[in-house]
Structure 1
Amino acid sequence: MAQLFFRYGAMNASKTIQLLTVAHNYEQSGKKATVFTPAIDDRYGVGKVTSRVGISREAVPVYDDTDIFKMVDNEEIKPDCVLVDEGQFLKPYHVTQLTHIVDQLNIPVIVYGLLKNFKNELFEGSQQLLCEADKIEEIKTVCVYCNKKATHILKFKDGQPVYSGEAIEIGGNETYRSVCRRHYYHPPLEKDEYLE
């Protein structure tokens, strides 16, 4: 029986490389994996899934008006697995469409993404995934300042931590850091070689 998986983690937790590995494994076995990514994440180009280690592949971009279920259902050869990168940027109705892929088409769906934004609030897509996923799995990474598990995203502007503003601003290591709770509230700025 197919299931909806939500695999979440902080930035640099290897979410995208894991997605790319799963897609590769399916395709090496002669199976079809369809990969989606929200169009809002255009750091490497719209419809491109790219890991920080430099591996990438084309993906189907998801716009606000995209019907993911209809796209998969209309495929002449149905995929053996549907993979979604940056799931935090999905709209709640996209998540519902993913549940229909699982429940009506019996195709497993694995979504990778962040859980919370830099304001320590759940992303809209992540909140819906927490409500709908059959299995929720954490992908762990460590705080950039210590060896504790990173549980928060710290945003910087002009070398200073930022805790307010637009919830979504696409950026990478130049803007965001994965940190533990302690260093989210008390970052050791005088020792932050990441901002140099």
Structure 2
Amino acid sequence: MAKLYFRYGAMNSGKSTMLLQAAYNYRERGQMPLIVKPGVDTKAGTSVSSRIGLEKPVDVLLAAGQSLSAAIEKVTPLDQVDAIFIDEAQFLEPAQVDEAFTLAVTTRIPVLAYGLRSDFRSRAFPGSARLMELAHSIEELKTICRCGSKALLNARKVDGEFVAHGAQVAIDGQHAEYESLCGRCYLEKVGPIRYDA
């Protein structure tokens, strides 16, 4: 039986780089990996792009409400796919995560999802929460804070100032930038963590 994997980390933990490397390894061995990303992620257009300069066009741009298997079948028959890689998996809808789990279990195609666990307010993205509930394997990818400690949280800056309020999704280019911080630096820069805020 294949598995659903969730590899998560704060910003700048190398998620997209690792995805591109793993997909390359499949191709190098003559296998057929498929790269998917949710369409809401407009960063890098229709490509997966890592901060170290690696970039590859996606095979499937998954729209809101779209079936994962139906989107894949528009590109290639499922029985020709050896692995499914999903970038920015936090933007998946819970139903799409359910389908990714079902695909892994019933088709024997491993599904490897890479994404953030939580947003700039320290709240789980719906897709990430569902991945935490269903994934057979969960792995944290680590990065460091500006102080050198392990980064745990993602902070949003608007006009150079850290903010604690706003819409959950604001993709690069929408007047927001992000920084990964440890818990102490997050509290100092952003302020107290409050779930009801």
Distance 2:72 2:169 in 1: 28
Alignment of 1:86-101 (within 5 A): 86-101=88-103
Distance 1:162 1:72 in 2: 38
Match of 1:182 in 2: 184
Match of 1:8 in 2: 8
Deviations 1:129-180 (A, max 9, x none): 0001000000000002x111100011111222100110110128x6110000
Match of 1:42 in 2: 42
1:43 maps to amino acid: K
Distance 1:43 1:5 in 2: 23
Alignment of 1:108-127 (within 5 A): 108-127=110-129
Match of 1:54 in 2: 53
Distance 2:85 2:43 in 1: 19
Distance 2:73 2:165 in 1: 40
Deviations 1:42-81 (A, max 9, x none): 1211x21111111111111111132112344673352111
The DSSP-based 3-state class of the residue aligned with 1:161 is: strand
The DSSP-based 3-state class of the residue aligned with 2:189 is: coil
Match of 1:70 in 2: 70
- Structure 1: gaps spanning 5 or more residues: 189-196
Match of 2:136 in 1: 134
Question: Runs of 4+ in structure 1 displaced over 4 angstroms?
Answer: none
- TM norm structure 2: 0.89
Distance 2:137 2:54 in 1: 27
1:89 maps to amino acid: F
The DSSP-based 3-state class of the residue aligned with 1:64 is: coil
- TM norm structure 1: 0.90
Does structure 1 conserve the Cα–Cα contact (< 8 Å) formed by 2:62 and 2:71?
A: no
How many residues align? The count is 186
Distance 2:113 2:183 in 1: 25
1:28 maps to amino acid: E
Alignment of 1:148-163 (within 5 A): 148-163=149-164
The DSSP-based 3-state class of the residue aligned with 1:186 is: helix
Distance 1:159 1:56 in 2: 27
Does structure 1 conserve the Cα–Cα contact (< 8 Å) formed by 2:35 and 2:84?
A: yes
Match of 1:82 in 2: 84
Does structure 2 conserve the Cα–Cα contact (< 8 Å) formed by 1:72 and 1:79?
A: no
Match of 2:28 in 1: 28
Distance 2:43 2:26 in 1: 26
Q: 1:4 deviation in Å?
A: 0.4
Distance 2:37 2:16 in 1: 11
2:17 paired with 1:17: yes
Distance 1:102 1:73 in 2: 15
Does structure 2 conserve the Cα–Cα contact (< 8 Å) formed by 1:69 and 1:100?
A: no
- Structure 2: gaps spanning 5 or more residues: 191-197
Instruction: Tell me how large the CA RMSD over aligned residues is.
Output: 1.8
